[in-house]
Amino acid sequence: MKTLTVTLPGRSYDILIAPGLLDRAGAAIQRVCPQAKRLFVVTDSNVLPLYLSRLSDSLKRMSYQVVCHAVPAGEPSKCAEQLVILWEKMMAAGLTRTDAVVALGGGVVGDLAGFAAATILRGVDFIQIPTTLLAQVDSSVGGKVAIDLAHGKNLAGAFWQPKLVLMDPNVLDTLPLPTFMDGMAEVVKYGCIRDAAFFDFLAQRAAQPSARASLMAEIEHILYTCCEIKRNVVEQDERDTGERMLLNFGHTIGHAYELAGHYTEWTHGSAVSAGMCAAARLGVALGVTPAEVPERLETVLSALGLPTAIPCTAEDYTAAVGLDKKGAGDHISVILLAALGRAVPHRMPKAELLRRLEALI
């Protein structure tokens, strides 16, 4: 068992990483939610037939009353309509403030269930059991929960830290290859922003004939390293006003690609992959990023089957920059690389950023 503790005033919690942990989830949850009688499990239509019965059995062995609700798999479920359905289902199940919500699934489930937990009865305990690589290394840790609005992604949400995060690497075995590699975009991001040696470690394995097998052989180390980096950043800046912005490397531009594809053509990982490459080229143009960085980054991402460029119009760039939560007034902080392993915020006028991005089209 690998354990990391996220230390926050009054809201500290553990991240547990171990093969087979899904079948021991009940005992782990009982240690942090000893007063809970009822657990409301949120999952999706893809995960339900794979892992819900195993989790439910584990919870029932600890004498929990278990209520389950599955949403349709996919980004469209991260919406106000599904949130209202969840609230009503929770009330119908008799959820109380001493009970807890459990998210079993990827980022969509974690965000939706987490926002429901943050708001139902003015807040109940929340457990994350992420089942995708992207959710394990990124969205399940740090307490950001949200739903999408018609204007864009994650525009209505809250900071609501989980009581516990349980990661079973074995659940990644059932991920389709594109979904696994989608999560690798966020894994590579951590090497880019904080750990050059980790970036080199990933580059070596991405170059192997079977990259997935090489990466899965080291998956516990990968999960631990990514979560340790995110833990350290979140502890310094829980509310995303300073240091935590570094985690958004590739995201400002990546959000434009997601928007360009109407949030259906490009996955989040693909958009972040191309967004990191664009940010690296932008950094070179601004004199911040060393000239060799874009090629090194593109080589690793290409080896993982991820895109290094995505078509995007000036209008999509403008809309995405306008929605970016790192913007303030006429300026925005773009995350660039001063070197592989060291990200820095670069504050610049939004108009200049848009001119620079149009030059990259």
- Cβ proximity of 13 and 5 under 8 Å: yes
Residue 20 DSSP SS3? coil
Q: What was the pLDDT predicted at 151?
A: 84
Report the alpha-carbon distance of residue 165 to residue 17 in Å, rounded. Answer: 9
> Domain boundaries in the chain?
2-174, 177-360
Which CATH fold would you assign to the domain 2-174? Rossmann fold (3.40.50)
The amino acid at residue 310 is: I
Instruction: Express each pLDDT in 155-167 by its tens digit.
Output: 999 999 999 999 9
| Cα diameter, the chain | 61
CB within 8 A of 171, min separation 6: which ones? 22, 50, 51, 131
Instruction: Express each pLDDT in 104-157 by its tens digit.
Output: 999 999 999 999 999 999 999 999 999 999 999 999 999 999 999 988 889 999
Give the pLDDT mean for 64-92. 97
> pTM surpassing 0.85?
yes
Q: What was the pLDDT predicted at 327?
A: 66
Q: How many CB atoms lie within 10 A of CB 232?
A: 13
- Cβ proximity of 238 and 143 under 8 Å: yes
Q: How many CB atoms lie within 10 A of CB 51?
A: 21
CB within 8 A of 103, min separation 6: which ones? 42, 43, 109, 110, 112, 113, 114, 126, 127, 128, 129, 130, 140
Average pLDDT of the chain?
A: 95
What the block records as the tokens of 212 is 């997935």
SS3 content of the chain, % helix, strand, coil (to 5): 55, 20, 25
Scan for tokens 């000893």, then name that residue: 34
Q: Is the pLDDT of residue 328 over 70?
A: no
Report the alpha-carbon distance of residue 128 to residue 247 in Å, rounded. Answer: 20
Q: Is the pLDDT of residue 103 over 80?
A: yes
Helices (H) and strands (E) in the chain, counts: 14, 12
Q: What was the pLDDT predicted at 240?
A: 85
CB within 8 A of 208, min separation 6: which ones? 214
**How crowded is the C-beta side of 15, counted as CA atoms within 13 Å?**
28
Q: Is the pLDDT of residue 361 over 80?
A: no
CATH number of 177-360: 1.20.1090.10
